[in-house]
Structure formats: C-alpha cells, structure tokens
C-alpha cells in the first residue's frame, strides 16, 4: 500500500484595515497644542484640557496603538499606546490628590521633574527610531523630546519666561504632529503626495 503524502495548504490573509497612524498623530497633536496654549499663557488650564487628555489624547492613541500592534508595527504600537497612557497618567497626576482616596498624595516637585525626564529619555530613544522613517515624524519626536526636557528645566528653575517659551515650543510640536497625521489622510485619499512627509531613502 502506497504511503499517502500529506499536503500543507498555506492561507495568506491580506491586511485590508485602514492606517491607524493619522488617528494617533492627530490625537497627540491636538491635545498637545491645547495644553501648551495654557503653558504659553494664551488660555487657562481648564477642564477642557483634562477632558482632551482622557478622551482624545489618551483613548484615541491607545486605540491607534492597538491597531498598529495588529499590523505588526512595533514602533507605532509602542509610541501610540505609551503616549496615550502618558495622557491618562498626566490627568490622574492632577486629579488624584483631589480625590478622597488620593488626598494623602500630593504632587511633589522632584517627582514631577523625574516624571518629565523619564518621558524625555523614552522620547529620545523613539526619536532615534524615526531616523529610519520620515522627516515629518523626526520633527515630531525631536521637538517632543526637547519639550519634555524644557518642561523639566522649567520646573527646576521656576522661570516663568522659560515656561512661556516651552509652551510655544510645545505648540510647534503639536502642530507638526497634526501636519503628519493630516498629510497621511490627504495623501491616501488623493492617491498621491499632497502634503510631503519627507520620505527617508533606505
């Protein structure tokens, strides 16, 4: 009796899902602009910013990060999920001391400085990753890295002028993320480069 040969059938599943990066970039960018308008003294630090941090800057980026994970994009999944959770932690940082459960915990200046420096270090390493991506993302992560360290330096020195300058630098960072997100949307809709992203030659 002849041996029966077993055959292996390979099934290829095509990725037909949309690009989640614009959602993450816009959520980050718009929330960052609003927060830094407050840092620059243009508007007040109101509940609007906390709401944006929870609902758009936080939740939308986490959703985008999960979608990037499904696309096997380690950089996108790490970046969007991390910064989404950053926004949630930022809001909790301000709200927790005002709750019954957290009234024993107050914002310590040294702790906040360490918090900002840690995020700055993380962002610098992520910036290194963008050197293989595109110029638009390089600008976003470079200015965000600078922003975290300027915020930390502002808390260390207590300089009002530095805080105002930091606010405007943060506005630029947020606008660069908005540009990168909208550019991807427009380029995909029109099927050509409407707003350039500055593709890095590999």
First to last CA, the chain: 56
User: Where do runs of H (alpha helix) occur along the chain?
Assistant: 21-39, 47-52, 61-70, 74-95, 109-130, 135-157, 160-190
pLDDT number for residue 182? 98
pLDDT number for residue 40? 95
Q: What is the mean pLDDT of residues 184-188?
A: 96
Question: Would the CA dihedral through 103, 104, 109, 111 be positive or negative?
Answer: negative
As given in the structure block, the two tokens for residue 45 are: 């630090």
Flag whether pLDDT at 198 surpasses 80: yes
As given in the structure block, the two tokens for residue 78 are: 């790490």
Flag whether pLDDT at 3 surpasses 80: no
Q: DSSP of 157-194, one letter per residue?
A: H--HHHHHHHHHHHHHHHHHHHHHHHHHHHHHHHTS-S
- State pLDDT tens for residues 107-159: 778 889 999 999 999 999 999 999 999 999 999 999 999 999 999 999 999 99
- For residue 177, name the pLDDT band (cuts at 50, 70, 90): very high
pTM over 0.85: yes
Q: How many residues does the chain have?
A: 202
- State pLDDT tens for residues 15-71: 778 999 999 999 999 999 999 999 999 999 899 999 999 999 999 999 999 999 999
Q: What is the mean pLDDT of residues 104-109?
A: 76
Flag whether pLDDT at 74 surpasses 70: yes
Residue ranges of domains in the chain: 21-190
pLDDT number for residue 139? 98
Q: Which CATH architecture group holds 21-190? A: Alpha Horseshoe (1.25)
């Amino acid at each position: 009796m002849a041996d029966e040969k077993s055959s292996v059938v390979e099934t290829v599943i095509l990725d037909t899902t949309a690009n989640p990066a614009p959602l993450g970039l816009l959520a980050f960018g718009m929330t960052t602009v609003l927060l830094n308008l407050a840092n620059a003294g243009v508007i007040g630090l109101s509940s609007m910013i906390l709401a944006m941090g929870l609902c758009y800057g936080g939740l939308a980026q986490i959703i985008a990060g999960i979608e990037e994970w499904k696309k096997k994009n380690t950089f996108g999944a790490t970046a969007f999920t991390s910064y989404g959770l950053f926004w949630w932690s930022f809001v909790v940082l301000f709200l927790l001391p005002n709750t019954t459960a957290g009234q024993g915990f107050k914002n310590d200046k040294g702790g906040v400085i360490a918090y900002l420096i840690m995020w700055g270090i993380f962002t610098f390493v992520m910036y290194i990753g963008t050197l293989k991506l595109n110029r638009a993302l390089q600008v976003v992560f470079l200015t965000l890295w600078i922003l975290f360290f300027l915020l930390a330096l502002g808390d260390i020195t207590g300089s009002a002028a530095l805080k105002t300058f930091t606010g405007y630098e943060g506005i630029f960072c947020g606008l660069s993320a908005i540009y990168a997100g909208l550019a991807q949307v427009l380029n995909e809709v029109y099927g050509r480069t409407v707003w350039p992203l500055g593709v890095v030659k590999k």
